Structure 1
Amino acid sequence: MMSTQWFVRIQPLAQKALEAVRTGQIKIVPEHFEKVYYHWLENIEDWCISRQLWWGHRIPAWVHQDGRIYVGKNPPTGNGWIPEEDVLDTWFSSGLWPFSTLGWPQDTPDLARFYPTSIMETGYDILFFWVARMIMMGLWFTGEAPFHTVYLHGLVRDKYGRKISKTLGNVIDPLELVEKFGTDPLRFALVTSGTAGNDVNLDLEWVEYGRNFLNKVWQMTNFVTSNLDGDLPKGVPAPSELDLPSRWVMSRLNRLIKTVQYLFDTYQYGEAGRQIRTFLWDEVAPWYLEISKHPLYNGTDAEKITARRVLVHVMDISLRLLHPFMPFATEEMWSYLPHDGEALIIAKWAEADEQYIDDEAELQMNVLMDMVRQIRDIRNNQYDIPPSKKLSAIVAPGKHRDNIKQYAYVFARLCNIDHITLLDDDAPAPEEVASGVVSDVTVYLPLKGMIDVDAEIERLNKEREKLEAQIAKTQGMLNNEGFVSRAKPEVVERERVHLAELQASLSQITEQLSRLKG
């Protein structure tokens, strides 16, 4: 049925909104949605703003019995005026939200402080219905854009990518997920499962994975707090006062801070969350926390204090980084750590300290970690030796003799090696052993009576083939004049060092095969 409606001539407002994005005053993330925005506003028509609903903002109009129409802030004088019964379109009301809620049109302290804001986050499906209306209204009524960036997330779909609907029977009730897994795991799963502007295929396994990750962080925090004894000096010791594992974890932490800040600055929030999870779950928990048990339980008083300070610092900064993703649990965990301030939500954001970024410490620690991986592989995958069985190791240490000697306890704690014998540089390789090669280090595990010589020869042949393929690839790059001339000098040098390491590993494997074959 045809009826009289109220319209707004919207083109003048749309022109201001178009100009704001074209000139860069407002940025839309991801950028390809700018085309959608332009299409809507360049083809916009007069906007019907009246709705026949029981609720909503009143249209400030009155109709006289004789047909006259009055629009104004205050009712007209005289008799015979009837208030307009239609209400404003909800998107008209929503478009006023950024400033109308702050006391506008009065010049209030809230308006001065909070308008304009910084980033507007919403779904791409209402880019025109809401975002464009807020921009048009804000520019027209206040002369300022309501925000400088629009970040658009995708729609939530089921794990197969289907739209959620009652017909398909795939409705996901967030309250049920919160009840089952918790609020923070659901939040973490949603943020880390997608990228800007792309739909999220929500798999409940991801939410469960988020809960498991949260449990791990809780256990890590509990480990740190349960090993505190009295007050600690504030801050973390200088790099020169730290042992290799502590220098390594501090370097990794400060690299993480830089990475997360870059990802936040470029609106890659999902990847930032994934990087934080990887650091805590794959680096701190299985490596540094386990290694720290040696100074905590067997070290001097000074070593214990240093380990505690590093542990507290690593967890404190990690919780600050994780807080935007898991606000409730991190707030609770942080409250148990030694800290300054009332709450994590208002604590200072983490900033990288360049003095702790240490390439050499990471390189040296990676050698020790790769040695642990090699020993575990020999024990668990090649010979199925029970983890509880203590083994001894013989090591040709190459240029890493001092570190292997100083940090022999790492192998005792992480792969149950109770004794390490370091060979002289010119010493012959032992017989009847399983071996692993890391850089210029060779690890031998005496396995007399437990080694299958044929299986070991087969493994070494496969390793040799893999190394030969890597050497051929790297040599091809270095023989390519185009690569050498265009790449940065440090990149070329890194490839040359990598080639030398591969060749050293191949030489050692060739020698091992020769010994096994007699």
Structure 2
Amino acid sequence: MIFQSLEFTGHKPFNDTLLHGLVRDAEGRKMSKSLGNGVDPIEVIDKYGADSLRYMLSTGTSPGQDLKFSFEKIEASWNFINKIWNASRFALMNMDGMTFEEIDLSHVKEVSDKWILTRLNETIEAVTKLAERYEFGEVGRVLYNFIWDDLCDWYIEIAKISLYGEDEIAKKTTKSVLAYTLDQTMRLLHPFMPFVTEEIWQNLPHEGTSITVAEWPVVKAEQIDKEASESMKVLVEVIRAVRNIRAEVNTPLSKPIVLQLKPQNEHYKTILETNLSYIERFCNPETVAISFDLEPSNTAMTAIVTGTEIFLPLEGLIDINEEIKRLEKELEKWNKEVARVQGKLANTRFMEKAPEKVIEEERAKEKDYLEKRAKVEERIQTLQEA
């Protein structure tokens, strides 16, 4: 190819060549007819789509490493695409026919809008640098974390406050931020998922004929707001900690709680008070107290996050005696699981004959069960001392 191109055009056909490892089976064996472990890509595409296969193959390994093919990885890619598709559908349903010319980022005031634009630009910078070094596995990780965690799990949920609110200016700004963020994200993702990104992009407010020839995203320094990023980091940690406490004491989100927040200093107090609407939406508190003078009651569940102590009093929230009984039953379950897996690992015959992968799986189970048992024991002790 190189010789022919030089002979007939006088130009090299390409400047760089990417060499990648072998695609092996799930056990790391080379695929071959004799082993019968080959995979027909057409069958995979028919079931999961070309984008699922392409994303898994292109981002599933690091330079110089072979790739272990597994249908679990393909299904994970398929689930990721579904997440992107559903998030995009929600966004498009709320665009109300917005055109490319109507996208306006000049009135961005909400901390969540500033934060997602900051995270978008950080992602653009990271993906561009990694792609230029052909580290596509890391590109996949960065894009996955941004899209799944920041965009879908947090921003889109927070955006509903403005989208369903009465403030028309805030609503239009959030629509603009959402449209712009999705547009730029689809461009970053396009080399790895060409079909779904093209379909979504064509339905977004855009200019141009195809995402294939759209310009690659570039970092815009004016969209980066470190202060907003810090504020969102605090808010996300607070909301996540409260959700975890709810899960620990088996209290659904629908049940209002008394929430007490003790900030470390005035800076964090301002962050909490200024953005109280986020905490109210995602924690469903009956009351929220933000003060330097708060101290936890004997029955309060506590957590410490960046710049803030969280107290969640259990009085009136749960029946402590019933909760202890429930936890004791859970403890009994974990005791049985620990005994079972430790018995297996103590079995000489099992340790001699089982594949190393199976042994490692059992050791991982043991670690997981021991951690869960310890957490239950700790919760029982806390409630008994209340």
Question: What TM-score results when the alignment is normalised by the length of structure 2?
Answer: 0.78
CA distance in 1, matches of 2:314, 2:26: 48
* Amino acid in structure 2 at the alignment position of 1:369: V
Q: Which has the higher contact order (CA 8 A, sep 6+)?
A: 2
Q: Is 1:355 matched up with 2:222? A: yes
CA distance in 2, matches of 1:451, 1:442: 24
Alignment gaps of 5+ in structure 1:
1-93, 105-110, 119-146, 456-512
Taking only aligned residues, the RMSD between alpha carbons, in angstroms, comes to 2.5
* Residue in 2 that maps onto 1:369: 236
1:213-243 Cα offsets, whole Å, 9 max, x none, are 00110111111110112435545524x7321
CA distance in 1, matches of 2:244, 2:205: 39
* Amino acid in structure 1 at the alignment position of 2:289: T
Q: Is 1:209 matched up with 2:105? A: no
Tell me, yes or no, if the aligned pair for 2:104 and 2:176 is still in contact at 8 Å.
yes
Q: Is 1:391 matched up with 2:257? A: yes
1:254-306 Cα offsets, whole Å, 9 max, x none, are 00000011011111122112211110011111110000100111240001001
| Most deviating of 396-405 and 165-174 | 396-405
* Residue in 1 that maps onto 2:273: 405
Tell me, yes or no, if the aligned pair for 2:237 and 2:306 is still in contact at 8 Å.
no
Q: Alignment partner for residue 180 of structure 1, among 17, 24, 47?
A: 47
1:151-173 Cα offsets, whole Å, 9 max, x none, are 10111111111011122121100
1:382-406 Cα offsets, whole Å, 9 max, x none, are 2111233222312223432233223
1:6-29 Cα offsets, whole Å, 9 max, x none, are xxxxxxxxxxxxxxxxxxxxxxxx
* Residue in 2 that maps onto 1:439: 306
* Residue in 1 that maps onto 2:13: 117
CA distance in 1, matches of 2:50, 2:219: 29
1:225 alignment partner, SS class: helix
| Distance of aligned partners of 1:281 and 1:298 in 2 relative to their CA distance in 1, 3 Å threshold | same
Larger Rg: 1
Residues matched between the structures, number: 324
| Distance of aligned partners of 1:226 and 1:419 in 2 relative to their CA distance in 1, 3 Å threshold | farther
Tell me, yes or no, if the aligned pair for 1:164 and 1:171 is still in contact at 8 Å.
yes
| Distance of aligned partners of 1:178 and 1:390 in 2 relative to their CA distance in 1, 3 Å threshold | same
CA distance in 2, matches of 1:179, 1:439: 47
2:18 alignment partner, SS class: strand
* Amino acid in structure 1 at the alignment position of 2:309: T
Tell me, yes or no, if the aligned pair for 1:151 and 1:196 is still in contact at 8 Å.
no
Question: What TM-score results when the alignment is normalised by the length of structure 1?
Answer: 0.59
CA distance in 2, matches of 1:302, 1:397: 32
Percentage of matched positions with identical amino acids: 33
CA distance in 2, matches of 1:164, 1:437: 50
Alignment gaps of 5+ in structure 2:
325-380
1:42-72 Cα offsets, whole Å, 9 max, x none, are xxxxxxxxxxxxxxxxxxxxxxxxxxxxxxx
Q: Alignment partner for residue 415 of structure 1, among 283, 291, 302?
A: 283
1:461-500 Cα offsets, whole Å, 9 max, x none, are xxxxxxxxxxxxxxxxxxxxxxxxxxxxxxxxxxxxxxxx
CA distance in 1, matches of 2:225, 2:163: 24
CA distance in 1, matches of 2:229, 2:28: 41
2:184 alignment partner, SS class: helix
Q: Is 1:241 matched up with 2:108? A: yes
State the 1:373 CA deviation.
1.2
* Amino acid in structure 2 at the alignment position of 1:187: R
CA distance in 1, matches of 2:192, 2:231: 33
CA distance in 2, matches of 1:403, 1:187: 42
The 5-angstrom pairing of residues 88-487 of structure 1 reads 96-99=3-6, 104=8, 111=9, 115-118=11-14, 147=15, 149-231=16-98, 234-238=102-106, 241-380=108-247, 382-398=248-264, 399=266, 400-423=268-291, 425-430=292-297, 432-449=299-316, 450=318
Tell me, yes or no, if the aligned pair for 1:290 and 1:413 is still in contact at 8 Å.
no
1:317-354 Cα offsets, whole Å, 9 max, x none, are 00000000000110001011000111100111100111
CA distance in 2, matches of 1:357, 1:411: 24
| Distance of aligned partners of 1:249 and 1:385 in 2 relative to their CA distance in 1, 3 Å threshold | same
Q: Higher strand share goes to which structure?
A: 1
